[in-house]
């Protein structure tokens, strides 16, 4: 048999759930394969297979990857970025930028969403796509999220000092990893107390994908956050698997319609009908509705006519530095 065939048979062995007590566990594998070359040392061969295995994990897990020489350089780059990120969190190189959320009927700012940026000393400003996956694999997402909560609260308190009532609230994205941390609630409430902000001034944005993690633990934390007065928003609604059931299970007060719906809302009758159905459903559940990714006035007018209450996107403003 070829190495590929053997590896695929190993993966297939993990196809059925395994019973442990009263629980069924789904176990997955990531396999790295290195082919022996003339003159290879055992240690080098193991290093190559290990590098391929981490590549398989980075590509989505539960798959096979064969070692190629460029993998080592790629993994070394990721490792260095991980080390840099630990330094960045400690030394305050992460900072929030803020994108306004605008009421469609009045075109006034009703809140902002805080988005993370990294001022890397040699690579310049990095957007989340450039490092959050590395943070997740290194278990650093809770530290990133809490840094953003602290930064957003600090900024909002400063805005209140300069111009009270300018920004009613700020939303921060919280990952499933962070929600599963035992001290998540206490850390968020401590940031609010440190800056003398009412819990209602802070919103937490989550995605449906948290339900693929330890859903019960995540739900408990979300309920505690809501009970403390913090608003919960369901981000990118419509891109997950069971959106309708999640709306009932999650303690959310706000639904954010994913940009993928908004992009074609003017030209696609199907997308328009789906958007209208989402709005009707959210309204029936007494939820606030925000459309993401709005880029021009025609979209604003159409979404307002469909019943969306607020929107955000480049049609209003790009994400701005705190002083902007």
Q: Are 240 and 246 in contact (CB under 8 A)?
A: yes
User: Which pLDDT score is estimated for 39?
Assistant: 81
**Phi, psi (rounded to 5 degrees) for 262:** -75, -30
Residue 105: the pLDDT is: 94
Cβ(130)–Cβ(118) under 8 Å? yes
The predicted model scores a pTM of 0.76
pLDDT in the model for residue 38: 81
pLDDT in tens, 186-218: 999 999 999 999 999 999 999 877 666 556 788
Q: Supply the mean pLDDT for the chain.
A: 87
- 8 A C-beta contact, residue 100 and residue 171: no
Report which secondary-structure segment, H or E, holds 103.
strand 94-103
Q: Where are the alpha helices (DSSP H) in 180-233?
A: 184-194, 215-227
pLDDT at 72 over 60: no
pLDDT of residue 21 exceeding 80: no
**What was the pLDDT predicted at 294?**
95
Question: In the predicted model, is pLDDT for residue 243 greater than 60?
Answer: no
pLDDT, residue 126, reads 86
Mean pLDDT for 27-54 is 85
Read off the pLDDT of residues 116-136 as tens digits, 9 standing for 90 and up. 999 888 888 888 887 888 888
Q: List, in order, residues 6 or more apart from 94 with CB less than 8 Å away.
A: 88, 116, 117, 118, 119, 144, 147, 148, 151
Name the percent of the chain lying above pLDDT 90: 44
Average the pLDDT over 258-263 and give the result.
87
Which band of pLDDT confidence, cut at 50, 70 and 90, is reported for residue 75? low
Question: Looking at residue 144, what is its pLDDT?
Answer: 95
CA nearest to 78, candidates 125, 32, 128, 138: 138
**Does pLDDT of 275 surpass 60?**
yes
Q: Please tell me the distance from the alpha carbon of residue 135 to that of residue 132, in angstroms, as a whole number.
A: 5
Dump pLDDT digits (tens) for 141-150: 999 999 999 9
């Amino acid at each position: 048999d070829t190495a590929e065939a053997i590896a695929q048979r190993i993966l297939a062995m993990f196809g059925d759930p395994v019973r442990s007590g009263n629980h069924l566990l789904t176990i997955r594998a990531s396999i790295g394969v290195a082919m022996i070359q003339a003159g290879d040392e055992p240690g080098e061969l193991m290093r190559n297979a290990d590098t391929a295995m981490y590549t398989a994990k980075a590509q989505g897990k539960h798959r096979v990857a064969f070692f190629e020489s460029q993998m080592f350089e790629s993994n070394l780059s990721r490792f260095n970025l991980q080390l840099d990120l630990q330094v960045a969190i400690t030394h305050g190189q992460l900072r929030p930028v803020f994108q306004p959320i605008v009421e469609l009927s009045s075109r006034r700012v009703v809140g902002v969403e805080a988005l993370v940026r990294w001022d890397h000393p040699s690579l310049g400003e990095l957007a989340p796509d450039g490092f959050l996956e590395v943070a997740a694999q290194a278990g650093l997402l809770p530290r990133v999220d809490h840094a953003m909560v602290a930064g957003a609260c600090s900024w909002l308190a400063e805005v209140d000092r300069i111009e009270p009532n300018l920004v009613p609230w700020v939303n921060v994205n919280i990952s499933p990893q962070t929600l599963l941390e035992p001290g998540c609630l206490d850390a968020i409430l401590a940031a609010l107390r440190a800056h003398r902000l009412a819990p209602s001034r802070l919103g937490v944005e989550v995605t449906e994908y948290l339900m693929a993690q330890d859903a019960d633990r995540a739900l408990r934390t979300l309920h505690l956050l809501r009970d403390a007065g913090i608003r919960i928003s369901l981000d990118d609604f419509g891109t997950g698997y069971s959106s309708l059931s999640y709306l009932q299970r999650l303690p959310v007060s706000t639904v954010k319609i994913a940009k993928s719906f908004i992009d074609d809302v003017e030209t696609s009758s199907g997308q328009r009908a789906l958007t209208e159905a989402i709005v009707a459903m959210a309204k029936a559940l007494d939820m606030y509705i925000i459309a993401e990714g709005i880029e021009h006035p025609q979209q604003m007018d159409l979404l307002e006519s469909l019943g969306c209450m607020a929107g955000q996107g480049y049609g209003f403003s790009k994400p701005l530095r705190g002083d902007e």
